[in-house]
Amino acid sequence: MNTLLILAATFILLAFVSIFIYNNLVKQRNLVQEAWSIIDVMLKKRYDLIPNLVEIVKGYASHEKETLENVVAARKNAQKATDVDHKKLAEQNLNQAMMNLFAVAESYPDLKANANFQQLQTDLTVLETDLEKSRRYYNGAVRVYNTTVESFPNNIFANMFRFVKSTFFELDNPIERQN
């Protein structure tokens, strides 16, 4: 009878540990998804500012058509990207196009003095700061989640229930790190 009680107690303990591990994996995965949705919202706000910025620059620098078209195309590609890896690449391209746009704006003193341009530039700067904070939060959530997925005995349950590591949202371009 004692053996039966010990086996039952061990089974119940293993069941509770399994439930705890599974629920923790779900919680960590949901935190990663929440963090990604915050980045997604920030990027959407950024994408909404870009056409206004392009229109203002277009009025002052109409012969810079290629630069403006590159910004529009990069924005469109970034909006279409769905997973973290594609979004990361699309954002790098958009960042490069935006740097080129601001380089063009430097050549036009009247444009730099335009109140709407200055306001959009300020809004974009604030948004970029918020986006950087969101990236840090996302990467922290990914770090915790990935550690949970890879740690023993969590990795047994993670493999069993197909919890896979998430991708960090990092800048791969060393020039962008300097900006």
pTM: 0.79
- pLDDT greater than 70 at residue 10: yes
- For residue range 114-151, list pLDDT tens digits in order: 888 889 889 999 999 999 999 999 999 999 999 999 99
- Largest pairwise CA distance in the chain: 91
- pLDDT greater than 70 at residue 172: no
> What percent of the chain is helix, strand and coil (3-state, nearest 5)?
85, 0, 15
- pLDDT greater than 90 at residue 12: yes
pLDDT at position 59, please? 81
Closest CA to 118 of 71, 53, 61: 53
Of residues 65 and 22, more confidently modeled:
22
Q: For the residues of 131-157, what is the DSSP string, one character each?
A: HHHHHHHHHHHHHHHHHHHHSTTHHHH
The confidence band for 179, taking pLDDT boundaries of 50, 70 and 90, is: very low
Of residues 169 and 111, more confidently modeled:
169
pLDDT at position 117, please? 86
pLDDT at position 111, please? 81
- For residue range 33-90, list pLDDT tens digits in order: 999 999 999 999 999 999 988 888 888 777 778 888 899 999 999 999 988 889 999 9
pLDDT at position 150, please? 97
- pLDDT greater than 70 at residue 100: yes
- pLDDT greater than 50 at residue 177: no
- pLDDT greater than 80 at residue 173: no
Closest CA to 70 of 49, 93, 42, 48: 93
